[in-house]
């Protein structure tokens, strides 16, 4: 069969398939096609292909392991689960084990508080295979409310809490309620976690970007927010909300009291819903974390009237911090200052999904209510927790120090979260080579890095960046320093090649 005949045959088959199927790329929801999610994009797909090749014994690649530094997925990169959490989960998944408490203690090392916690949770949820209340199991929401009260020093009401399948699910829920049409706009920090722009694309709503101040440790710039807001309003956009990620993703920034107040001032003046993404609140290396709710309550006490009607949604998750249980899909959001009838509509929306994963809910309860000092499991829990925290900080500084030595690389000192977002200045020849491949220069650099080292990072263009700047985002979750040395060696060779 000739090449011409083969091509014609394939083309006919494709046309035939499109004619006999309902869906083809031209008639599916255009907003799905428009959405982009860089952390699981082309680079991640290629990295997975390399991983499979290595697993199959391929020796042709110039590296012997793939480092997925593109996504905050701690346990994929060898972070060990917290023993107390997993022991309790095992009993929830298989309650028959509770019939042999002595064997659990003597043969498997389960402490009595593990057994007691499993019994308490099962008494409320009955079975992790059963639906829970759509907002989440009552006993778990009570634990979360107590955690928030102890964290902030202000009351929290379990009825204002919604457990969810990771914070991402909560973000989707809230944006679905806020965005009431194509003119609805949401202020989003740039750089940002692409969940926000992708979800807004799906909703056919407007992303209103505001630039963070890189030279000031990626802090919020009130003037930049106001300028973006006014420009959007002049273009007919109905700006309804502002997103803040604190500590920052991808920047690793940790906001202080004044930055938080500035955002709340704008929200109060402009009637904006504040979406506070606080999933990295325990990943803080510099200073201490202050929640948006705590700062709001302080301001409401200090200046009665001004902040009374600020609407705030704050989100947290079991996926990050020292827990790192991304696959369990546990999270929550808290509503503050919402009209009760709007809250009822949010409840209706989450009810359509029946309930969040019950095993993830139970893990959330343990995260906010870990073994207390004096309890049998406390010492092991404390040792594991502190070991993970100290290891993350150590690797963050090792990566930061490496970037300090690399030509054309500038990086803000890590303050929190799980990421660094360095600026890279590439030689003109590298930029020209990227243009010849019809790629952004940072994407070109990241692909070459992956091909040479097996280290997968994400180009800054996937998060948004200031015009005429280039960045990439990397996690510092992978153990050891070998992969850091790979980056340093590649960068020197890349710069030399394109000088």
Write the pLDDT tens digit of every residue in 360-381.
Answer: 999 999 999 999 999 999 999 9
Same structural domain, 450 and 488 = yes
Q: Does residue 168 share a domain with residue 295?
A: yes
pLDDT of residue 49: 92
Q: Is residue 277 part of a domain?
A: yes
Would you place residue 37 in the very low, low, confident or very high pLDDT band (cuts 50, 70, 90)?
Answer: low
Same domain as 393, residue 313:
no
pLDDT at 251: 80
Q: Does 224 share its domain with 140?
A: yes
Structural domain containing residue 484: 30-66+382-498
pLDDT value, residue 1: 47
Across the chain, mean pLDDT equals: 87
- My answer on whether 147 and 42 are in the same domain is no
Mean of the pLDDT values across residues 459-463? 83
333/461 same-domain check? no
* Residue keyed to tokens 């000739």: 2
Structural domain contains residue 104: no
Report whether pLDDT(182) > 50.
yes
Residues 258-292: tens digit of each pLDDT = 889 999 999 999 999 999 999 989 888 877 899 99
Predicted pLDDT at 138:
93
pLDDT at 141 over 90: yes
Instruction: Determine, yes or no, domain membership for 305.
Output: yes
Taking only the tens place, the pLDDT of each residue in 316-335 is 999 888 887 878 788 999 99
- Which of 368, 400, 420 terminates a domain? The answer is 368
Task: Supply the pLDDT for residue 415.
Answer: 84
Pairing type for strands 273-277 and 312-317 reads parallel
Percent of the chain with pLDDT over 70: 94
**Closest C-alpha among 332, 246, 262, 254 to residue 296:** 262
Helix (H) or strand (E) segment spanning residue 235: none
What average pLDDT does range 445-451 have in this prediction?
A: 92
Confidence of residue 39 (pLDDT cuts 50, 70, 90): low
pLDDT tens for each residue of 428-439:
999 899 899 888
Domain boundary among 314, 334, 368: 368
First to last CA, the chain: 49
277: CB partners within 8 A, 6+ apart: 167, 171, 193, 243, 244, 245, 246, 249, 315
Q: What is the CATH number of the domain that holds 177?
A: 3.40.640.10
Picking from 159, 171, 179, the residue whose alpha carbon sits closest to that of residue 347 is: 159
Query: Is the same domain home to 352 and 405?
Result: no
φ, ψ of residue 420 to 5 degrees: the values are -125, 150
Instruction: Based on the fold, state whether residues 306 and 425 are members of the same structural domain.
Output: no
| Position with higher pLDDT, 315 vs 461 | 315
406 and 257 housed in the same domain: no
Q: Which of 138, 32, 81, 116 is nearest to 325 (CA)?
A: 81
User: Would you call 32 helix, strand, or coil by DSSP?
Assistant: helix
Residues 300 and 424 in one domain: no
In a domain, 121, yes or no: no
Query: For position 183, what pLDDT does the model report?
Result: 93
Neighbours of 20 (CB within 10 A): 7
- Smallest CA-to-CA distance from 346 within 296, 295, 311 is with 311
Q: What is the pLDDT of residue 73?
A: 73
Q: How does residue 479 score in pLDDT terms, banded at 50, 70 and 90?
A: confident
86-125 confidence digits (pLDDT tens): 999 999 999 998 888 888 888 888 999 999 999 999 998 8
What CATH number is given to the structural domain containing 417?
3.90.1150.10
pLDDT value, residue 38? 54
- 353 plus 437 within the same structural domain: no
Whether residue 119 is contained in a domain is answered as: no
SS3 5: helix
Q: Which of 368, 392, 407 is the last residue of a domain?
A: 368
Is a pLDDT exceeding 70 seen at residue 4?
no
In a domain, 37, yes or no: yes
Is there a domain that residue 9 lies in? Answer: no
CB atoms within 10 A of CB 266: 18
Domain assignment of residue 83, yes or no: no
pLDDT value of position 3: 47
Task: For residues 467 and 230, give the distance between their C-alpha atoms in angstroms, rounded to a whole number.
Answer: 20
Per-residue pLDDT tens for 212-240? Answer: 888 787 778 888 899 999 999 999 999 99
**Together in a domain, 344 and 417:** no
Examine the pLDDT at 8 and tell me if it is beyond 80. no
CA dist 81 → 32, 87, 165, 235 (Å): 35, 10, 19, 49
Q: Which residues pair with 90 in a beta bridge?
A: none
Q: Which residues pair with 458 in a beta bridge?
A: 473
For the chain, the domain total comes to 2
Q: How many Å apart are CA 140 and CA 360, to the nearest integer?
A: 11
């Amino acid at each position: 069969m000739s090449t011409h005949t083969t091509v014609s045959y394939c083309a006919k088959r494709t046309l035939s398939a499109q004619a006999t199927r309902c869906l083809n790329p031209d008639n599916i929801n255009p907003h799905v096609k428009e959405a982009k999610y860089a952390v699981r994009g082309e680079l991640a797909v290629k990295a997975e292909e390399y991983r499979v090749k290595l697993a199959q014994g391929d020796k042709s690649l110039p590296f012997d392991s793939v480092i997925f530094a593109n996504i905050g997925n701690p346990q994929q990169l060898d972070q060990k689960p917290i023993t107390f959490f997993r022991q309790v989960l095992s009993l929830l998944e298989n309650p028959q084990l509770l019939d042999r408490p002595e064997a659990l203690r003597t043969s498997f090392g389960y402490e009595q508080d593990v057994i007691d916690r499993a019994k308490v949770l099962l008494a409320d949820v009955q079975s992790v295979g059963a639906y829970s209340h759509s907002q989440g199991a009552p006993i778990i929401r009570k634990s979360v409310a107590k955690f928030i009260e102890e964290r902030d020093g202000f009351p929290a009401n379990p009825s204002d809490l919604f457990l969810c399948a990771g914070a991402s699910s909560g973000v989707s829920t809230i944006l679905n309620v806020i965005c009431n049409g194509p003119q609805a706009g949401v202020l989003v920090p740039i750089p940002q976690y692409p969940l926000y722009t992708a979800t807004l694309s799906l909703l056919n709503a407007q992303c209103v970007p505001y630039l963070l101040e890189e030279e000031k440790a990626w802090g919020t710039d009130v003037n930049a927010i106001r300028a973006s807001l006014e420009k959007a309003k002049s273009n007919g956009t109905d700006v309804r909300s502002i997103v803040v990620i604190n500590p920052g993703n991808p920047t690793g920034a940790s906001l202080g009291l004044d930055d938080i107040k500035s955002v709340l001032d704008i929200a109060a003046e402009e009637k904006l819903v504040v979406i506070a993404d606080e999933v990295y609140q325990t990943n803080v290396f510099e200073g201490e974390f202050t929640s948006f709710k705590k700062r709001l309550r302080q301001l409401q006490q200090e200046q009665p009237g001004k902040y009374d009607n600020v609407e705030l949604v704050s989100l947290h998750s079991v996926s990050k911090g020292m827990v790192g249980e991304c696959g369990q899909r546990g999270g929550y959001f808290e509503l503050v200052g919402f009209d009760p009838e709007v809250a009822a509509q949010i409840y209706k929306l989450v009810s359509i999904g029946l309930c969040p994963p019950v095993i993830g809910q139970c893990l959330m309860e343990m995260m906010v209510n870990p073994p207390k000092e004096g309890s049998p499991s406390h010492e092991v829990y404390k040792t594991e927790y502190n070991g993970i925290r100290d290891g993350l900080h150590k690797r963050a500084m090792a990566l930061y120090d490496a970037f300090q030595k690399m030509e054309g690389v500038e990086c803000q000192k890590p303050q929190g979260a799980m990421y660094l977002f360095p600026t890279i200045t590439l030689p003109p020849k590298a930029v020209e080579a990227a243009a010849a491949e019809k790629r952004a220069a940072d994407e070109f650099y990241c692909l070459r890095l992956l091909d040479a080292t097996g280290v997968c990072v994400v180009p800054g263009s996937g998060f948004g960046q200031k015009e005429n700047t280039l960045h990439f985002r990397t996690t510092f979750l992978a153990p050891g320093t070998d992969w850091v040395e790979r980056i340093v060696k590649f960068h020197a060779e890349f710069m030399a090649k394109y000088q």
